[in-house]
Amino acid sequence: MARDPRHDILFEPLRIGPVTARNRFYQVPHCTGMGWQYPRMLAAMRGMKAEGGWAVVCTEYNSIHPSSDDLPHPYASLWDDSDVRANALMTEAVHDHGALAGAELWYGGASANNLYSRLPTMDIRSVPNAKGHPVQSRVMDKTDIRNLRRWHRQAALRARQAGFDIVYVYATHTYLLANFLNPRINTRSDEYGGSLENRTRLIRELIEETQDAVGDRCAVAVRFSADAEIGEDGRPILGDRREMFEMLANLPDLWDINIADYSLEMGVSRFVKEAALEPYMAWVKTVTDKPVVTVGRFTSPDTMVSQIRRGITDFIGAARPSIADPFLPRKIEEGDLSAIRECIGCNVCYASDSIGVPLRCTQNPTMGEEWRQGWHPEIIPARTGDERVLIVGAGPAGLEAARALGARGYAVMLAEAGRELGGRVRREAALPGMSEYIRVRDYREQQLLGLPNVEVFRDSRMGADDVFAVEADHVAIATGARWRADRFDGETYVPVAEGAAAGRVLTADDIMDGRLPEGPVVVFDGDGYYLGGVIAERLRAAGLPVTLVTPADGVSPWASYTSERARIQTRLVALGIGIETGRVLARFDGRAALLECVYGGAERSLAAEHVVMVTARRPADALFHEIAGRAGAEGLPFTLARIGDCEAPAIIAAAVHAGHRYARELGRAVDPDRPLRHDRVDVAAPAPEAAAR
Ligand SMILES: Cc1cc2nc3c(=O)[nH]c(=O)nc-3n(C[C@H](O)[C@H](O)[C@H](O)COP(=O)(O)O)c2cc1C
Ligand code: SF4
């Protein structure tokens, strides 16, 4: 396939100070849940982006000094020579594929945790920790500012030594340097506070000092917010940002522009669509001659081209689109657009970092597995034999297994009970705001079209006899899970209603099947992720009075990891959905729901004609067990596995990963005692000397 000439502009090389990017695809800094803990995994993952065609591949936030530490959220570090070696693994992997490597030097201020280093955080003022840890920062004096400048310079020198081509001054995202710019925060009375000139002084010094230290070989980039504070979506509140920007406009070699509202900049697709930063960017390129990069969960090459042609940006910045598809640039370059695995905007990637574990991605099951499992997102080893594989169920796990096995060359039969493929993503994508989730199905369905060795059988509900009759060599059951009508009390499942009232207890599946209740309805969310809120929104859209009840202290607690919790609760409030937190749905008699306070058990009655339970799921594994139960002394005439929600209900990313793992491991001997390579410090290597005290 050939590149569409309309997309040529995306492949123009562009100069950034002393270095040149081979095209306009720029992986902006993003965390990986790996940071300094898993340097080999990290290097292989970044190298994969370079192989996929990104011209610039950056680190995550890269700490310049132990007084800026963010564990349990993994970050990179440039504290000493061993960090230079660890970072060099990444720059080498990136350079091997012809891309530039960027290091985002980071100093957290009051937003850092310092739970690992146990040093006090430093900021302009003594303020409470941004993440709610019960500590405050200490106030920086002039000596601290001098120290900070020295640490920044030393880290820049280490970055150059590690082989980086671009070194950042990171002046946004509420970290220390952003606080210096903010007039509400920076009330210092010395030359670093007050006037615009004073508030920008430290950034100016750091840009100049970084250029002085490494500018002969490295470009200096500044990450900077285009607006001053969070306002209504799409309506920037500029404050004195423009004046500030004008003062620094041509100082760095590149501007990496984002915005004050992280929940918009990195918004989930339920609330934020592609190119959402455009209204904030309108003036930026008119003020500087230097190249500009910005983000917007860009997956459409036409949108990318339009952003460049209309002067919004020079580079197409991406974090999530590069995670979902590290080969996005290559696919556009080769004109293979239907092969693009588009990000669905679920922020499961971000959740990994929030929790402190290596990156996972719903769309890209190989993310984070490049080193430890040797998985490549576009290359998969050929089959080891001529066997035929039957997969029952075309949800995320079954589809991914069929796609990956098909790519390996196996003869695959994919049987789906219904007319349409997609399983849970098809059902969930029909709910309010969730439409982009269908990309999980669409990418795979599209790929199957190009695999003649994969046959798809629709409207084909399989019983055990049917499975045996197919005479496949391998059978994978991927029949998903169904939402339960009871609730889990921490030890066991308990029903909430009896008799006639039980007929008025619905599940999330009932709603997705179009079985809507009547009258006031209580949605009980014992699951804690997005679906409870989405179901409540669906019912409200049908005109019903809805109350969402949760045992947690806020709605959708798990969605704080994906950085969407506040938006979910704000949306529910705006829609007039009642919210009862810290309460369990104890009983329902068909007219009222009895809510029990989780703190002390106080009871309260809420009028309701129906309740909808979003609590836990029951694996739909009856077929698996029936087949397994027919094994005779010789076993079964085929290998049998269950994958995805049918094995263990979890998030969509887990099902896609399970389907992929099944496909990778078929016909291969996997050592169950050592299923993964383990990236950790090998104590056989000499340890650095302890510092003398
Ligand atoms: C998993 C993840 C981790 C991130 N970590 C960082 C970071 O360390 N430093 C930073 O400046 N921005 C970080 N970001 C924000 C991204 O750089 C980017 O601004 C945002 O994701 C919007 O771009 P996108 O729509 O292309 O994802 C992170 C984003 C994601 C998804
Ligand atoms: S996890 Fe979700 S948001 Fe993150 S890159 Fe993958 S598809 Fe996109």
CA 170 – ligand 1 centroid, Å: 13
Average pLDDT estimate for 647-660: 98
pLDDT at position 680 is: 86
pLDDT in tens, 201-252: 999 999 999 999 999 999 999 999 999 999 999 999 999 999 999 999 999 9
Average pLDDT estimate for 369-392: 96
pLDDT at 691 over 80: no
Say how far apart CA 636 and CA 625 lie, in whole Å. Answer: 12
pLDDT in tens, 269-287: 999 999 999 999 999 999 9
Dihedrals phi, psi of 297, to nearest 5 degrees: 40, 55
Distance of CA 499 to the CA centre of its chain: 44
Average pLDDT, the chain: 96
pLDDT at 120 over 80: yes
Token pair 């500012």 in the structure block, residue: 145
**Known catalytic residue: 107?**
no
CA 169 – ligand 1 centroid, Å: 16
| Ligand 2 pocket mutation pick from 299, 350, 362 by most atoms within 8 angstroms of CB | 362
CA nearest to 556, candidates 572, 578, 576, 575: 572
pLDDT at position 692 is: 64
Alpha-carbon Rg for the chain in angstroms: 27
Nearest-atom number in ligand 1 for the CA of 61 is 8
319 Cβ closer than 6 Å to some ligand 1 atom:
yes
Structure tokens, 405: 């096995």
Structural contact between residues 257 and 29, judged by C-beta atoms closer than 8 angstroms: no
Per cent of the chain over pLDDT 90 is 95
pLDDT at position 7 is: 98
pLDDT in tens, 591-638: 999 999 999 999 999 999 999 999 999 999 999 999 999 999 999 999
CA 323 – ligand 2 centroid, Å: 7
258 Cβ closer than 6 Å to some ligand 1 atom:
yes
pLDDT at position 212 is: 98
Nearest-atom number in ligand 1 for the CA of 28 is 17
Which residue has its alpha carbon closest to ligand 2 atom 8?
Answer: 343
| Ligand 1 pocket mutation pick from 31, 75, 167, 561 by most atoms within 8 angstroms of CB | 31
Say how far apart CA 677 and CA 373 lie, in whole Å. Answer: 7
pLDDT at position 693 is: 66
346 Cβ closer than 6 Å to some ligand 2 atom:
yes
Nearest-atom number in ligand 1 for the CA of 321 is 26
pLDDT at 684 over 90: no
pLDDT at 384 over 90: no
pLDDT at 665 over 90: yes
Give the ligand at the shortest distance from the Cα of 272: 1
| Ligand 1 pocket mutation pick from 225, 266, 278, 342 by most atoms within 8 angstroms of CB | 266
CB-count exposure of residue 308 (10 Å: 0-12, 13-18, 19+): middle
Give the ligand at the shortest distance from the Cα of 76: 1
Answer whether the bond into residue 72 is a cis peptide, omega within 30°. Answer: yes
Which residue among the candidates 38, 107, 175, 530 is catalytic per the annotation? 175
Higher pLDDT, residue 397 or 677: 397
pLDDT at position 682 is: 81
Nearest-atom number in ligand 2 for the CA of 348 is 1
CA 346 – ligand 2 centroid, Å: 5
Which residue has its alpha carbon closest to ligand 1 atom 15?
Answer: 30
CA 27 – ligand 1 centroid, Å: 9
Say how far apart CA 456 and CA 463 lie, in whole Å. Answer: 17
CA 360 – ligand 2 centroid, Å: 8
Say how far apart CA 687 and CA 359 lie, in whole Å. Answer: 28
477 Cβ closer than 6 Å to some ligand 1 atom:
no
Give the ligand at the shortest distance from the Cα of 73: 1
Q: pTM score, two decimals? A: 0.97
CA 194 – ligand 2 centroid, Å: 41
Average pLDDT estimate for 84-96: 98
Beta bridge partners of 632: 635
31 Cβ closer than 6 Å to some ligand 1 atom:
yes
pLDDT at 671 over 90: no
360 Cβ closer than 6 Å to some ligand 1 atom:
no
Structural contact between residues 26 and 359, judged by C-beta atoms closer than 8 angstroms: no
